[in-house]
Amino acid sequence: MKQVFPFIALAFFATVPLWLQDQYYLHTLVVAGIFMLAAMSLNLLLGYTGQLSLGHVAFFGIGAYVSALTSLGFSLSIFGFQITHEPWPAFVGLILGALAAGLCGYLIGKLAFRVRGAYFVIVTISFAEVVRLVSLNWVELTNGPLALPGIPPLTLGFEWTGYVTLWGKAQNYYLVLVLIALAYLLIKRLVQSPYGRAMIALRENETLAVSVGISVTKYLVLAAIFSGALAGLAGGLYAHYIQIIDPMIFMFLNTVTMVIMVITGGKGTLAGPLVGGLIFGLAPVFLRNYVGPEVQWILYGVLMILVVFVLPEGIVPAIERWFNRAAKPKRKNGSAGGKMEQSGSSLAMASSGKVNS
Amino acid sequence: MNAQTQSSAPILSVEHVAVHFGGLVAISDMSFEVHEGELVSLIGPNGAGKTTAFNVITGFQRPTKGHVSFQGTSLDGLKPHEVTGLGLVRTFQRTSVFEKISVFENVLIGLHRRTAPSLFGTLMGLPGERKAEAALREEAWEILRLVGIEHEADELGGSLPYGDQRLLGVALALAADPRALLLDEPVSGMNASETGRFIDLLNRLRAKGTTILLVEHDMPMVMKISDRIVVLNYGRIIANGTPSEIQNDPEVIAAYLGGGVKNA
């Protein structure tokens, strides 16, 4: 049952554009999907290695800017050298954006994992702030607060298949859906392999993990590279879908959104960021009829606190436990009963021994 | 000063190691050797520096002075996981298992050193990596059976009875494919039957040729199974010899029981 559930979910979401006529709802789903990708990337770090990146939006934004600039082209002068870049196809930008964000993940990982825990959090926050300031002030390259408008939508295809430009919402929806499915599959393979086990071991007990020969730096940096690249990919998708980006993309609120998605859904689970992403991606749609955006954020906070208090591990682990209990009541009862019998008999022996002596 | 009985070259040698924590001298000058296939016990009163010695040997603690070498390779400046990579694997006094992970997965993590999957193959789900994973699982079962906790494979590490947790700690270390195994108080807190089981396990490991360095307070066990005993007190070695030599060493008796105990 657990094995087929991802396929059922995928099949259901594949049908959504067929019956959902409202373009606004579809748009919300696309943006939610992009943030789900970002949340999945954060989950790799926060959930599997246990390192909280509170500057995760930096990778997202770097992916967006690199992808946008690659496909828009730019010209600037550095130290008297004139550099001009002609526009390249959008999907090349998308890949370069992911690679650039992955490279940043590598650098941040190398730098920051010497100091883990709270220090890593501080380094990542600082990193995001530096990148935000660069995007705001390097006007020649990024247009600063004036934003980068007119980013071309993605064009997919080969010479022998013909090309499709993703103008429509449904097209982008399917692209995001496919990428989420791919990312899910790759992350699943990674975390269930010796690589993922090493990451989990470092999260659970670093000293012990090291003692069986697991290299801290290697696996944490690997996780940071993957995490950065996936967040960068999400950022690139965002840029080509929304078609305009500005330094507001580096808002701390965006990182917080990803963190909330991961923690509510269940960090360290494959489905957690997807469930959390769906809830917090769609919540604005349902809330906007009743309350203003500021109140929405307060409600998110309340919801987050509720989840942390009621389901501290997140929604997905709670459902899994409930499901396991419902699926195998006999076995659970049997083993529990067996244990009680054992302890009962040893207790009886102990007491009878006392009586005898 | 070493009372060596074997003629083989040492697998592990500790040369003039000193460890100072600020003004505190944990180890003042320690030298000893362990030979291939030997079981050497490191004993001494609490605070004598036994665990510090383990930490130095396995790279968790940099010595202030001195050197450690393993199979002729200097361990100077190596990180703990690199020391493990050479086949020198330890267990811990307290943090010995991954508590929130199943026993079976614990051992799989321990097997880390035996796998070198390609990242590409893993991500693509190539058959080669799947086969390697299946072989790894088989190996994990073998280690669980060797240690004797295979019936608890599905339990969480932290939910095992205390004695079995110690066994799982050893299983983790064994999974790391040790040439030499360093056990830090493995039977502390175990009852007599658990200790008996543990001694059986040690004998099985020795039969396979594993070199063992043991820190332990359980004197009957130490006297029974050790080839050689190194006695530490106040950060220095006060005796090094066979169990019978150690039992009759006046300085050791004094260290353990206090001075003037001839009549005790």
pTM: 0.84
Task: List, for residues A74-98, the tens digit of each pLDDT value.
Answer: 887 777 787 777 788 888 899 999 9
Would you state the torsion angle of the CA atoms of residues A162, A168, A170, A175, taken in this order, to the nearest 10 degrees?
50
- Is there a contact between B48 and B5 (Cβ–Cβ < 8 Å)? no
At B5, phi and psi to the nearest 5?
-105, -30
Question: Residue A153 gets which letter from DSSP?
Answer: P
The answer, for A189 touching chain B at a CB cutoff of 8 Å, is: yes
Question: In three state form, how does the secondary structure of A99-122 look?
Answer: HHHHHHHHHHHHHHCCCCCHHHHH
Q: Is residue A242 part of a domain?
A: yes
Q: Of the candidates A94, A107, A42, A93, which has an alpha carbon nearest to the alpha carbon of residue A233? A: A94
> Which residue among A195, A197, A210 sits closest to B108, beta carbon to beta carbon?
A197
Residue A181's pLDDT is 95
Residue A339 lies in a domain: no
Instruction: Please report how many Cα atoms fall inside a 13 Å half-sphere around the Cα of residue B68, on the Cβ side.
Output: 27
CA angle A182, A90, A25 (to 5 degrees): 60
Show me where the domains of chain B are located: 10-257
pLDDT number for residue B257: 67
A279 inside domain: no
In a domain, A350, yes or no: no
Q: What residues 203-232 of chain A have any CB closer than 8 A to a CB of chain B? A: 204-205, 207-216, 222
Query: Residue A344's pLDDT band (boundaries 50, 70, 90)?
Result: very low
A97 vs chain B: nearest CA distance in angstroms? 21
| Three-class SS state of A163 | strand
Helices A57-72 and A216-242 pack at an angle, to 10 degrees, of 50
DSSP codes, B127-183: HHHHHHHHHHHHHHHHHHHHHT-GGGTTSBGGGS-HHHHHHHHHHHHHHT--SEEEE
- Residue A290 covered by a domain: no
Q: How many helices (H) and strands (E) does chain A have?
A: 15, 4
Is residue A86 in some structural domain?
yes
Residue (of A89, A40, A211, A336) closest to B106 by Cα position? A211
Q: Which amino acid is at B251?
A: E
Q: Which residue of A has its CA nearest to B134?
A: A193
Alpha helices by DSSP H, A44-87: 57-72
Of A194, A200, A215, nearest to B117 by CB-CB distance is: A194
A318-339: pLDDT as tens digits: 888 888 887 765 444 434 333 3
Report pLDDT digits (tens) over A29-51: 999 999 999 999 999 999 999 88
Return the number of CB contacts < 8 Å for A and B. 90
Predicted pLDDT at A142: 84
Residue B67: which of B215, B52, B59, A212 has the closest Cα? B59
CB pair distance less than 8 Å for B123 and A205: no
pLDDT at A329: 56
As a whole number, the mean pLDDT across chain A is 84
Contacts of A188 (CB under 8 A, 6+ apart): A270
Domain assignment present for residue A301? The answer is no
For B202-226, the pLDDT digits (tens) are 999 999 889 999 998 888 888 889 9
- Name which of A105-119, A212-226, B42-56, B192-206 the model is least confident about: A105-119
**Is A190 in the B-facing interface, judged by CB distances under 8 Å?**
yes
Distance CA B4, CA B27 (A): 22
| Percent above pLDDT 90 for chain B | 35
Distances (CA, A) of A109 to A37, A127, A128, B236: 20, 11, 14, 41
Cα–Cα dist B232/B252, whole Å: 9
User: How does pLDDT run across A216-262, given as a tens digit for each residue?
Assistant: 889 999 999 999 999 999 999 999 999 899 898 888 888 988 998 99
Report pLDDT digits (tens) over B80-124. 999 999 999 999 887 689 999 999 999 999 998 888 788 888 888
Quick one: pLDDT band at residue A151, thresholds 50, 70, 90?
confident
Number of domain units in chain A = 1
Domain containing residue A118: 5-251
What is the identity of the amino acid at B59? G
As given in the structure block, the two tokens for residue B72 are 């002729």
Residue A348 has pLDDT above 50, yes or no: no
- Tell me the average pLDDT across B246-254: 85
Tell me the one-letter amino acid at B33.
Answer: E
pLDDT at A328: 64
Task: Give which of A249, A190, A241, A231 is closest to A98, Cα–Cα.
Answer: A231
With an 8 Å Cβ cutoff, are B172 and A213 in contact? Answer: no
pLDDT tens-digit series, residues B150-160:
898 888 988 88
- Measuring CA to CA, which residue among A342, A257, A339, A350 is closest to residue A304? A257
Contacts of residue A125, Cβ cutoff 8 Å, sequence gap at least 6: A54, A55
Residue of chain B minimizing CA distance to A197? B109
Would residue A17 count as lying in a domain?
Answer: yes
Task: Give the relative orientation of helices A169-191 and A194-204 as an angle to the nearest 10 degrees.
Answer: 80
What lies within 8 Å, CB to CB, of A289 at 6+ separation is none
Nearest Cα residue in chain A from B57:
A211
The CATH H-level (homologous superfamily) assignment of domain B10-257 is P-loop containing nucleotide triphosphate hydrolases (3.40.50.300)
Both tokens of B32, joined, read: 């000893």
Per CB-CB distance under 8 Å, the chain B contacts of A222 are 119
